[in-house]
Amino acid sequence: MGYRIDCLQYANWSEKIFRQMREGGVDAVHVTIAYHENFRETVLNIEKWNRWFEQFPDLIFHGEWASDVVRARDTGRTAIFFGFQNPSPIEDDIGLVEVLHKLGARFMQLSYNNQSLLATGCYEAEDPGITRMGRQVIKEMNRVGMVVDMSHSADRSTIEAADISERPIAITHANLHSWQPALRNKRDDVVRAVVDNGGMMGFSLYPHHLQGKSDCTIDSFCQMIATAADRFGVQHFGIGSDLCQDQPDSVVEWMRVGRWTKEIDYGEGSATAPGFPPQPDWFRDNRDFDNIEHGLRRAGFNDTEVAGLMGDNWLRFFEQNFTPADTRPDT
């Protein structure tokens, strides 16, 4: 049996959810610990996680290296890896990249939906690509072992990041634009740029990114994965569910609005229903990963391919990209 890794969740964390991770056999989860937070606010979020690690040591622990996924499986726990959906935690200081990596951060998006100091978000009308600072930050992330994540970035910025980066980059949570034309989903030329440079993409279960939204079927979702595997190679894909379990609707406002506007930004949802959409009935929480595995088998994937998609591909990516550049194993 392969490893089971979800490369993006932003749940309203609780003992209940940690226990559901164990019930679902989830060995590792990449969790968002910053949307718009500055450095000090991000440290406060790390403090919260440290308390949870202290309170629930039989369920979760802080993952820093790929070997922690193996340790999680061996000890019946879930390794929690930190990531940011915005470069706001580094503020305007490239030196904070290394500091945050030492605090356990392993992923950082170069932009959320808007233009950042580093790159362009997918909601902007124009995409001038990676900025001067962005090029330097990518170089520093490559050096220390922090993964460049372009999940919310615009097309040109994502393609340039994949080409500039000397190590593979990731799109941790998105789907194929050809399957569901949401702003956040990725066109084929974007996916090609990422995978041609050895990168990874995690498929999202967030309803606005699904064909049919909350009514999307498991077979439609898995057929989309099969299409991606045929086009680009199954070894480049995994799951990044974007599960926002138990979050109050007010959290959507923080995600989309932060501090940059006084107006409500409804994103890709309905202007009359700005909150979280209901999850499809086949993936409501961490206990439902078996449904995805069964769906992948129905879509024609063999045992090795299913294991890869459910987590082994992410594990290989972690092994290659979490360590500093001068200590990573030969590949």
Tell me the CB-side half-sphere exposure of residue 153, using CA atoms within 13 A: 36
Which tokens go with 17?
Answer: 């959810």
- Is the pLDDT at 214 greater than 70? The verdict is yes
Residue 272 has pLDDT above 80, yes or no: no
Q: With respect to residue 328, please indicate whether it lies within any of the assigned structural domains.
A: no
- Kindly state whether residue 246 falls inside one of the protein's structural domains: yes
* Structural domain range at position 158: 5-321
What pLDDT band is residue 245 in, cutting at 50, 70 and 90? confident
**Distance, CA of 113 to CA of 298 (rounded, Å):** 35
194 contacts 223 by C-beta, under 8 angstroms: no
Rounded to the nearest 10 degrees, how much is the dihedral formed by the CA atoms of 177, 183, 185, 188?
Answer: 50
Q: What pLDDT sits at residue 260?
A: 85
- Please give the Cα distance from 167 to 162 (Å, whole number): 8
Instruction: Tell me, yes or no, whether 331 lies in a domain.
Output: no
pTM: 0.95
Token pair belonging to 271: 């202007």
Least confidently predicted of 9-13, 197-201, 266-270: 266-270
Q: Does residue 206 fall inside a structural domain?
A: yes
Between CA 27 and CA 73 the distance in angstroms is 6
In the predicted structure, residue 163 carries a pLDDT above the cut 50: yes
d(CA 286, CA 241): 10
Pairing mode of beta strands 200-203, 237-239 = parallel
In whole angstroms, give the CA distance from residue 151 to residue 132: 20
The answer to whether residue 225 is domain-embedded is: yes
Name the residue type at position 74. Answer: D
CA 131 to chain centre: 22
10 inside domain: yes
pLDDT tens digits along 80-95: 999 999 999 999 999 9
The pLDDT assigned to 329 comes to 55
Q: CATH number of the domain that 17 lies in?
A: 3.20.20.140
Give 20-76 pLDDT, tens digit per residue: 999 999 999 999 999 999 999 999 999 999 999 999 999 999 999 999 999 999 999
What value does the mean pLDDT take over residues 290-308?
98
Provide the number of structural domains found in the chain: 1
* 206/245 Cα distance (integer angstroms): 11
Does residue 180 sit in helix, strand or coil?
coil
Q: Pick from 7, 101, 43, 74: which is nearest to 327 by CA?
A: 101
Tell which residue, 136, 204, 211, has the closest CA to residue 170. Answer: 204
CB 244 within 8 A of CB 254: no
289 sits in which H/E element:
helix 289-298
297 occurs within a structural domain: yes
Q: 327 in a domain, yes or no?
A: no
Mean pLDDT to the nearest integer, 214-243: 98
Return d(Cα 193, Cα 71) in angstroms, integer.
Answer: 33
**What gap in Å lies between CA 159 and CA 194, rounded to an integer?**
7
Nearest to 313 by CA among 216, 263, 239: 239
